[in-house]
Amino acid sequence: MQEAKVKRKSSKKKLSDNGAAQLLAIVEKSLDDDKAENVIVIDLAGKSSFADYMVIASGRSSRQVSAIAEHLRERLKAAGVAQVGAEGLGQGDWVLIDGGDIVIHLFRPEVRAFYNLEKMWGLEVPAAAEISTVAVTA
């Protein structure tokens, strides 16, 4: 019996590398405008099939995290991202935004420390990180 190879078509259109970088600039500006803290950008290009960049940031409260997420969704839609998915908006402890080539995790500080996504990706993050970009080594 032979196994048929099935290729899945992504429902989201993949942007060019330049498009992903432009989208990242929009995300970084939005996070800066909304006073997100400890922003980390992880470069996943060529290392992951689900995104080119992962962005992790914190807000001081559930209300701020939700507001940052809503503003970011609006800006991504305005930039032409057709489907901007979001999970966790109601609680505001951890909001995940799927911007196609960029996945954004927004946390309250306590929740971010608990899940420690940076460590899962093998990163050491400075205590007072502002916006920094790191590459994941395979």
- Within-domain flag for 73: yes
Percentage with pLDDT > 70 across the chain: 75
Range of the domain at 88: 17-135
- Within-domain flag for 108: yes
Which token pair is 97? 């935004």
Task: Report yes or no on whether pTM surpasses 0.85.
Answer: no
- Digit-coded pLDDT (tens) for 19-42: 888 999 999 999 999 999 999 999
Which token pair is 33? 């405008």
**How far apart are alpha carbons 22 and 103 in whole angstroms?**
14
Residue 42 CA neighbour count, 13 Å, CB half: 24
Give me the pLDDT at residue 50, please.
85
**How far apart are alpha carbons 3 and 132 in whole angstroms?**
44
- Digit-coded pLDDT (tens) for 79-136: 988 889 999 999 999 999 998 889 999 999 999 999 988 888 776 655 554 444 555 5
- Interior/surface letters 40-79, b for 16+ CB within 10 angstroms, e for the rest: bbbbbeeebeebbbbbbbbbeebebbbbbbeebbebbeeb
- Within-domain flag for 25: yes
Question: Is a pLDDT exceeding 90 seen at residue 10?
Answer: no
**How far apart are alpha carbons 121 and 69 in whole angstroms?**
23
Number of domains composing the chain: 1
Give me the pLDDT at residue 21, please.
87
- Within-domain flag for 5: no
